[in-house]
A and B are shown apart, each in its own frame.
Chain A
Amino acid sequence: MITKNDKNLAQWALDFALKNGCQASRINLYSSSNTSFDLRNGKMDKLQQASESGMTIHLYVDGRYGTYSTNRLVKKELEDFIKNGIEATRFLATDEFQVLPESSRYYKGGKPDLQLLDPKFEKIHPDDKIALAKAVADEIMGKDKRIVSVNSLYYDGENFNYRLNSNGFEGESQTSYYGLGSNVSIKGDGDARPSDGWYESAVYFDDLIKKDIGRTALERVLRKIGQKKVKSGKYTMVVDKTVAGRLLGPLMDALYGSALQQKNSFLLNKLGEKIGSSKLTLLDEPHLPKARGARYFDYEGVATEPRTIFENGVLKTYFIDTYNAKKMNVAPTISSPSILILKKGNKDLSGLISEVENGILVTGFNGGNSNSSTGDFSYGIEGFLIEKGKMTTPISEMNVTGNMTQLWASLIEIGNDPRLTSSWRIPSLVFENVDFSGL
């Protein structure tokens, strides 16, 4: 946690920077702790425990800017650290756009607690944590003779942040997290040992789903047996909710000020234009209590607010921080989204599949990339062939290739099944006329 001493140290560092040549400064002091227990075949394999803390200090010196961080939080050392940072920054070229945000944009406090820290955190006994991972393994062990290895994992941790900006921002944030998961390897065809897993996570221990994790992991791997390539061609693509974020990623990356300012975005100068199909409505909802990703301010201290990113396919906002806004001479928005919510439909995954005549259900991506300037993408995939509304042959070793703009314009259906434990709440998605390469 952040103690009163930590806060005093951050304030001292800020004052010290200002006294020694900085015209402005921004400080982030953080501390965190984490624990994990990895079990292999129900037996302890690895236990890890640690806590750490450090400070990042942003120095604005005579129109120049540098960032310095250290985990040596001793005043005597920090004095030299800051002084030397100031001295080094003076070597740099000036950058008139490097300034702190206007103080009117800061979060001013007063809103209800987002309840991101579980008061129970310290009270859970390590033996109980290990027992949870053991119970996950027990759901799998001995359930199928093809099983070659079972991994189960429990982890938890806490993160604390304290931010101070010299033009009047002070903000504190904290979050706890818990996770429980499993990965199973089985003997497949030939020498192959396919594996798959399932994971649950939560901000509160009591909200962590603890049952059926092992069972789900085993189900997910067993259904893979007999994977093969199918014929290359255009298919309707159904993307499972667990991996749908992979396709949203490049779209979001294209909205950042840093990409736009460098002309390195396929969504440059597209504000107000229709990019996706009418099904695409995407919101940033930063203030949901007890939700991973919730926050009242971003890394600059700027207040977050609900935003519409896409509305019926039309691009409504970019994510532009103070620096890139000044550089591009546009109004800043927010440095990044907090919780992404893709407006859901009313069918579950099997409902979506039942309407597909000739398609591929993608359950996993394997490598691949997307060109940030053009939106051209190509990813390895695995999943299932869909024939006449039914999942049939398990498939692997295929690629899906296309262009992000064309892909999102061909979004025809959205599921009702986003994982609410994620800060990206993206349901299963259906796209038409997508190029797959296989045989």
Chain B
Amino acid sequence: MNRRKFIKSGSMALFGSLAIPTFAYGHEKQSIDKSNSSVTWAMEHFGVTETDLKKVLTIALEKGGTYADLFFEHTFNNNVSLRDGAVNRSYSNIDYGVGVRVLAGDQTGYAYVENITLKEMIKAARTAARIATSNKAGKTANLVDKPITKNYYAVASPWEKVTLKDKMPYLQKLNNKIFDLDKRVQKVSASINDSTSHILFCNSKGTTYYDYRPMVSLSAVCIMEENGRIENNYAARSYRKGFEFLNDDLIDVLAHEVVNKTAILFKAIKPKGGEMPVVMGAGGSGILLHEAIGHAFEADFNRKNISIFSDQLNKKICNENISVVDDGTIPFNRGAINIDDEGVDGQKTYIVKNGILTSYLHDRISAKFYGIPSTGNGRRESFRQMPIPRMRATYMEAGNMNEDDIIASVSKGVFVDNFTNGQVQIGAGDFTFFVKSGYLIENGKLTQPIKDINIIGNGPKALADITMVANNDKIDNGTWMCGKDGQSCPVTCGMPSALVSKLTVGGES
């Protein structure tokens, strides 16, 4: 394919006619025949040659950099939405460019260009190269294809081949179903967002890969009115899947969920605030792990000694029945990565094993600092940003109790299982999550529904205060988006039901 042809198909792809390579979907194994490899296809796609890449990497290291990488990205994003009963809005975006990163020890130089020509790439490489000052030019190895051997998101029906017309009926069905379920429904908005990224990567160690990254989400907002009072709620599912993601069962599940989550709010009150036991319901409660320990385990904070967990590696930090994982290998999960954004294989990492803090989450810089292999957590929002340690799917493994027994053990507290957002202070350890709805626990039973309250705790203390874990482990496949240093990354989280013996619950005094 020559460059002009690529350009033409590149823009066509937005609406469904780019011929994508067969190795990008449907097959577990790919051809590693160099002449027909995915990397070769991707180089043609971006209009670059192996000689170009080596030249740019060499220039990137000419001021004394110790490592350099190039991250090419071509992303097609499509959104179609329904409002007031009609699917009448669409938005699409094409993003295209390459980022050049140079490391000099733990220092980073970064530049990117949107116009991928040798001249522009060299200019960006010279900018990024300035981070190094030794003037002792670094070496670039020969580029070697690193085929994706385990594809965690092989799609059956790629978005490139799907038109707006194919997606629209699902939004209409979702809308109709929600209205059918409850007479109090006033407004529904729903949308399908899909994206497809073609990633070509190479670095000065010679690692070169192509990865095809699909993503889709279906979401609905429901607004209900009861006796003049209005409430709203949101439900969504997201996976690294193709068009096969959309089906009638999903529509049915999501419609019921958003209606139930909204209706409960009319019965809910603000609880009396203060310190109390909190039972975290299975699923979205993984937000506690994400905020209370996940961020504080990201190794950039620890190598800089600014995390509250900086001195805790290999120490017991919680009950020995607790194991927590950050996992990039769950098939089709929103947080799955075949290979991270600096060429390290996607993997499953135990961050807490039987109560011991066993690993931080590493990128190349922190792995080098600690003298260990990277855990494959180096991720970036796009070619515009440098990779940093990020979570993938963060969850707690199952315990051995029944949820009912855990609830029964609490005489006065709250049960929470529906969340919107959270935040953490890495160094102080204070973390929060916002509870959209839950229940009071009175004498071991769920009683009055509650809503719209923030819960705050301190990471190490909250972790140590997890005294019971149930056997109902569950990943929440909602549209979780994690923000850090101005970069957004798709993630998921999960947890079995668990008791935290003491957290501060917002409420009336």
Contact = CB atoms under 8 A, between A and B. Distances in A.
Given A367-B456, A373-B232, A437-B504, A47 B109 contact: yes
17 contacts: A45-B106, A46-B110, A47-B130, A47-B131, A52-B112, A85-B92, A88-B14, A92-B168, A93-B86, A194-B425, A195-B427, A366-B423, A366-B425, A379-B506, A380-B423, A435-B507, A438-B504
A81 B428 contact: no
A81 B11 contact: yes
A3 B509 CA distance: 60
A193 interface: yes
A318 B433 CA distance: 31
A4 interface: no
Nearest to B427: A193
Contact of B90 (A53, A89, A148): A89
B422 interface: yes
Given A193-B306, A233-B509, A264-B232, A95 B427 contact: no
A376 B437 CA distance: 12
B295 interface: no
Interface string B174-201: 0000000000001101000000000000
Contact of A263 (B4, B107, B223, B425): B223
Given A263-B223, A367-B422, A67 B96 contact: no
A367 B504 CA distance: 13
Nearest to B306: A185
Given A149-B304, A368-B454, A263 B422 contact: no
Contacts of B95: 70-71
Question: 7 tightest A-B contacts by CB?
Answer: A437-B273, A367-B432, A399-B506, A367-B423, A193-B427, A378-B506, A378-B454
Given A148-B305, A367-B432, 12 more contacts: A50-B384, A91-B165, A94-B86, A95-B86, A98-B88, A191-B311, A195-B427, A264-B187, A368-B454, A371-B451, A380-B454, A399-B507
Interface stretch (A72-80, A112-120, A198-206): A72-80
A96 to B, nearest CB: 10
B253 interface: no
B430 to A, nearest CB: 5
A373 B87 contact: no
A232 B273 contact: yes
A26 interface: no
A49 interface: yes
A91 B165 CA distance: 6
Interface string B453-466: 11111101000000
B506 A367 contact: no
B205 interface: no
A186 to B, nearest CB: 8
A189 B29 CA distance: 53
A89 B164 CA distance: 8
B10 interface: yes
B453 A399 contact: yes
B427 A194 contact: yes
Contacts of B505: 399, 437
A263 B505 CA distance: 29
A193 B90 contact: no
B156 interface: no
B508 interface: yes
A330 interface: no
Most chain-A CB neighbours within 10 Å: which of B11, B422, B431?
B11
Contacts of B509: 232-234, 435-437
Contacts of B165: 91
A303 to B, nearest CB: 26
Contact of B94 (A45, A64, A69): A69
Contacts of A194: 425, 427-428
Nearest to A76: B7
A188 B306 CA distance: 11
Contacts of A399: 273, 432, 453-456, 504-507
B163 interface: yes
Given A71-B96, A369-B434, A399-B453, A50 B428 contact: no
A398 B428 CA distance: 13
Given A192-B429, A399-B453, A40 B304 contact: yes
B421 to A, nearest CB: 6
A251 B19 CA distance: 49
Contacts of A68: 14, 91-93
Most buried by B among A67, A188, A371, A436: A371
Interface of B: 4, 7-8, 10-12, 14-15, 80, 83-84, 86-97, 106-114, 127-128, 130-131, 163-165, 168, 186-187, 189, 221, 223, 225, 229-232, 270, 273-275, 291, 304-312, 384, 386, 420-434, 451-458, 460, 504-509
Contacts of B452: 369, 371, 374, 376-378
Contacts of B87: 92-93
Nearest to A195: B427
Most B C-beta atoms less than 10 A away, residue of A69, A232, A377, A378? A378
Interface of A: 40, 43-50, 52-54, 64-72, 74, 76-78, 80-81, 84-85, 87-89, 91-95, 98, 148-149, 185, 188, 191-195, 224, 227, 229, 232-234, 262-264, 268, 327, 366-369, 371-374, 376-380, 382, 396-401, 435-439
Contacts of B8: 76-77, 80
A410 B302 CA distance: 43
Contacts of A40: 304
B304 A66 contact: no
A91 B428 contact: no
Contacts of B7: 72, 74, 76-77
A108 to B, nearest CB: 30
B456 A84 contact: no
Given A68-B93, A69-B93, A193 B428 contact: yes
Contacts of B15: 84-85, 87-88
Contacts of A76: 4, 7-8
Contacts of B312: 191
Among A76, A80, A85, A89, max chain B CB count under 10 A is at A80
Contact of A195 (B12, B110, B310, B425): B425
Nearest to A372: B232
Given A367-B456, A373-B223, A229 B504 contact: yes
Contact of A401 (B80, B163, B508): B508
A149 B306 contact: yes
A326 B429 CA distance: 49
A359 B224 CA distance: 37
Nearest to A368: B454
Nearest to A43: B107
A382 B232 contact: no
Kindly name the residue among B92, B229, B426, B509 whose own CB sees the greatest number of chain A CB atoms within 10 A: B509
B237 to A, nearest CB: 21
Given A263-B186, A264-B223, A66 B90 contact: yes
Contacts of A224: 428
Given A50-B111, A263-B187, A437-B505, A396 B88 contact: no
A47 B423 CA distance: 27
B46 to A, nearest CB: 12
Given A89-B90, A195-B425, A50 B112 contact: yes
Given A366-B456, A396-B428, A438-B274, A65 B88 contact: yes
Given A85-B92, A399-B273, A263 B225 contact: yes
B164 A91 contact: yes
A262 B92 CA distance: 23
Given A66-B89, A367-B454, A80 B11 contact: yes
A71 B90 contact: no
A95 B456 contact: no
Contacts of A327: 84
Contact of B88 (A64, A368, A371, A398): A64
A47 to B, nearest CB: 5
A224 B460 CA distance: 19
A252 to B, nearest CB: 18
